[in-house]
Amino acid sequence: MPKAIYQTIYRDLKEKIEQNEFAYQELLPPEHQLTKKYDCSRNTLRRAISCLVTDGYVQTMQGKGVRNIYRPIEQTSFTIGEIESFRESAKRNGLTPRTRVLLFVELAVSDRQASYTGFSPGTEVYYIQRLHYLDDLPLIINHNYFLKEAVPGLTKEIAENSIYDYLENTLHMTIVNSKRVMTVEKITEIDEKYLKLNVDDYNCMAVVSSQTYNSDGIMFEYTQSRHRPDYFRFYDNAVRR
Amino acid sequence: MPKAIYQTIYRDLKEKIEQNEFAYQELLPPEHQLTKKYDCSRNTLRRAISCLVTDGYVQTMQGKGVRNIYRPIEQTSFTIGEIESFRESAKRNGLTPRTRVLLFVELAVSDRQASYTGFSPGTEVYYIQRLHYLDDLPLIINHNYFLKEAVPGLTKEIAENSIYDYLENTLHMTIVNSKRVMTVEKITEIDEKYLKLNVDDYNCMAVVSSQTYNSDGIMFEYTQSRHRPDYFRFYDNAVRR
DNA sequence: GCCGATTTGTCCGTATGTATC
DNA sequence: CGATACATACGGACAAATCGG
């Protein structure tokens, strides 16, 4: 898949850093050495480095060099600051995912739903409620709204497996970006029931609302993810510009 | 401050988008037109556009154009996915910030503190507890650990105002990036006392832990921010690469 | 379906500026 | 001061995707 040269270099360097080929705080070889090694132009190499900066893996310092500031994240994390489906996250952490579909309906977006989903009122969508388990522990309840026009042929069976797998491999849709808002909200009766939460223990939970766009610039999904608070971790790296 | 051409273009386009010079879903003028308008090379313009993509303002589509996908965010938000000090966020939202220093001490990092701060045991730091108000409402308790070596001369008086203002304008330090983890945790007695929270209402809160690096690639700050759950909102835009 | 025009994506080489050592 | 290293910018070439005729 990584056709572009800069992406190949980016992945190679990323892997090397993850496998501790450079110590924490150590400088990477200077640009001119790496351009020789990868037999590419300076621009191309710099583009790869720039991706690593965005990931929080390295820090560039004018006149000094490129410093490795990567630290492995804890094992327990399964929700991180990238676009990744539930199954992908699970797999990456060596855990067994399971998905139960609680509700699968088709509906037209109401005025109230329009106000928080970002879809126009009347838009035809699939509305799906799903419960995600990790190693048989119910962790997340997802409320998905998929634009019917952009995601035709969605079924309950697909929803039980990976919707993203269907989108990318069957419909050949490309997911481009996702705007997310994280908040903390009171748990509802539904949360309590399905996530087996005890109000005396935790009475609120982490909620991630996201609007996702495909390569046509169309928002095809609105999702509200409600996470068990004791298992929720969200990673992020912010870069000052 | 925006000396670089690409940054000037980036800010100009960003402002135009925020002020609705382009409708949601509308295409921006093609590259060759914009390079003429800004009298710059194609690469420079593309760099500016790329920043807007990272911000989630636009979406580029090969063969089609650059689509505006910007939507204004709600007023209530004061915590977003950028590096921004408390006072900066407050100002941006037209609110009055106030800071109360609860504790200001110098200490050597213990083994236990080392495990979550990322500082080595024995490192000399300032440990500061601060309570942040917005329009006289206590919203956030911060536990700051500043590397003494990198932030010399910190005082309680500075902590009562803006530490970041001191870092940038007096010490001339440049903040580069910040790795953050968001979690949901039980509220403690300290939280309850200072944020005037009622356990029957909310018994947990949003916690943002961050490690911040300066332009020397040195982690000079670890901070745990504990947010009143009902006022916490965290924005993020993820881009698939 | 083909073809050409348009538009963005990738890559290169080079020049100059700026910060560090 | 010179050498080294990253930052910015330009211009050109070709590839890939899209769209209209």
Q: Element (H or E) spanning A101, and its range?
A: strand A97-108
Protein CB footprint (7 Å) on chain D nucleotides: 4-13, 16-19
Instruction: List the structure tokens of A212.
Output: 């996702």
Does B235 lie at the interface with A, CB-CB under 8 angstroms?
yes
Judge whether residue A174 contacts strand D, using its CB and a 7 Å cut-off: no
Indicate the pLDDT class of residue A165, thresholds 50, 70 and 90. confident
A47-65 pLDDT tens trace: 999 999 999 999 999 999 9
Q: What percent of chain B has pLDDT over 90?
A: 66
Judge whether residue A174 contacts strand C, using its CB and a 7 Å cut-off: no
Average pLDDT over residues B136-151: 93
Single out the residue of A116, A238, A44 nearest to residue B179, CA to CA: A238
Does the pLDDT of residue A134 top 90, yes or no? Answer: no
Q: What is the pLDDT of residue A79?
A: 47
**Which range has highest mean pLDDT (A1-10, B26-35, B70-79, B188-197)?**
B26-35
Q: What is the pLDDT of residue A154?
A: 93
Antiparallel, parallel or unpaired: β B175-186 and A234-239: antiparallel
Average pLDDT over residues B1-6: 81
Strand-by-strand arrangement of the B234-239 sheet: A97-108, A124-134, A137-147, A219-227, A204-214, A175-186, B234-239
Indicate the pLDDT class of residue A80, thresholds 50, 70 and 90. very low
A170-222 pLDDT tens trace: 888 888 899 998 999 999 999 999 998 887 788 999 999 999 999 889 999 99
Does the pLDDT of residue A76 top 50, yes or no? Answer: no
Q: What is the pLDDT of residue B76?
A: 45
Does the pLDDT of residue B80 top 60, yes or no? Answer: no
Q: What is the pLDDT of residue A1?
A: 57
* pTM for the predicted model, two decimal places: 0.89
Mutate to test the interface with A, among B1, B50, B236, B237 (most CBs of A within 10 A): B236
Does the pLDDT of residue A38 top 50, yes or no? Answer: yes
Q: What is the pLDDT of residue B21?
A: 95
Give chain A positions within 8 Å (CB) of B241.
Answer: 7, 51
| Closest CB from A64, A82, A232 relative to B184 | A232
Residue A180 burial (CB count, 10 A): 23
- How far is the C-alpha of A122 from the C-alpha of B126, rounded, in Å? 56
Q: Chain B, 114-143: which CBs lie within 7 Å of strand C?
A: none
Single out the residue of B76, B205, B207, B202 nearest to residue A186, CA to CA: B202
Q: What is the pLDDT of residue B75?
A: 44
Does B25 lie at the interface with A, CB-CB under 8 angstroms?
yes
Does the pLDDT of residue A148 top 50, yes or no? Answer: yes
Q: What is the pLDDT of residue A2?
A: 64
Note whether B232 contacts A7, CB cutoff 8 Å. no
Average pLDDT over residues A91-119: 90
Average pLDDT over residues A98-114: 95
Measure Cα distances from B35 to A20, B31, B57, B64 in Å: 42, 6, 19, 17
Q: What is the pLDDT of residue B231?
A: 85
Q: What is the pLDDT of residue B45?
A: 98
Q: What percent of chain A has pLDDT over 90?
A: 65
Mean pLDDT of the residues in chain B:
89
Does the pLDDT of residue A16 top 50, yes or no? Answer: yes
- How far is the C-alpha of A150 from the C-alpha of B40, rounded, in Å? 37
Touching B: A residues 128-187, CB under 8 Å: 174-186
Protein residue closest via CA to C1' of D18 = B63
**Which range has highest mean pLDDT (B15-24, B67-76, B230-239)?**
B15-24
Single out the residue of B180, B155, B158 nearest to residue B234, CA to CA: B180
CA A135, distance to chain mean position in Å, is 20
Residue type, A151: V
The DSSP secondary-structure symbol of B81 reads S
Average pLDDT over residues A151-166: 90
Give chain B positions within 8 Å (CB) of A232.
Answer: 182-184
Q: What is the pLDDT of residue A75?
A: 43
Average pLDDT over residues A121-146: 94
Does the pLDDT of residue B151 top 80, yes or no? Answer: yes
Scored b (16 or more CB within 10 A) or e, A37-56 reads ebebeeebbebbbbbbbebb
